[in-house]
Homo-oligomer: A and B are copies of this chain.
């Protein structure tokens, strides 16, 4: 869980002129939200940091700061060109190349994810489904035939998938994770409620819906406990 990546101190990396520079993780995490917000302005030519920030649910200051890491894509006194800014954020996020995704664990959640149309709208292609259950293997879900676990490595290679989604029970998640890493994916999104270990050259993001509810419970509880009802 070391997010270090520097030796003596990351060399400033020969400024690649264009939209390179070092983009902080917190900024990267907000970029998809800006892209989403920009879609709400389709047809409009320009928008301002005030307007766009409002749509994205952040402050104008934060939006401008975030965008400044990507380069100078606005015009002072005018605002941002909606089309151009969308394009540039897409470039920075690497969405000009379509990424291929395999989903492991075709239970209720895996099934839902396999059928989730937003993935395609946002530039991702689900190219493979895998499960261990013999009752599920061979069935067709969202136009794909579910493969057995043994086929995972081959599947990743032949489809050239770079991202794996884990939608298995917690118990098998680490094994699946290892298999995905072994097969060569570089990014993993897991929904399994447990901590996973990946080598540092693989990127891991975890969504735990039960944990989300527990965080909500904390605030619910504090609110009730503080007794601030009139």
Chain A residues with a Cβ under 8 A of chain B: 1, 23, 28-29, 31-33, 35-37, 55-59, 92-95, 97, 99, 101, 107-109, 111-113, 115-116, 118-119, 121-124, 162-163, 186-189, 193-197, 201, 203, 205, 207-225
Contact = CB atoms under 8 A, between A and B. Distances in A.
Q: Top 9 closest A-B pairs, CB basis?
A: A94-B221, A187-B216, A32-B211, A57-B195, A108-B112, A32-B214, A203-B219, A112-B112, A122-B210
A1 to B, nearest CB: 5
Contacts of A58: 1
Given A207-B212, A219-B203, A116 B124 contact: no
Contacts of A1: 57-59
A118 B210 contact: yes
Contact of A108 (B115, B121, B210): B115
A212 B197 CA distance: 18
B214 A35 contact: yes
A37 B58 CA distance: 33
Contact of A211 (B33, B196, B213, B225): B33
Contacts of A211: 32-33, 36
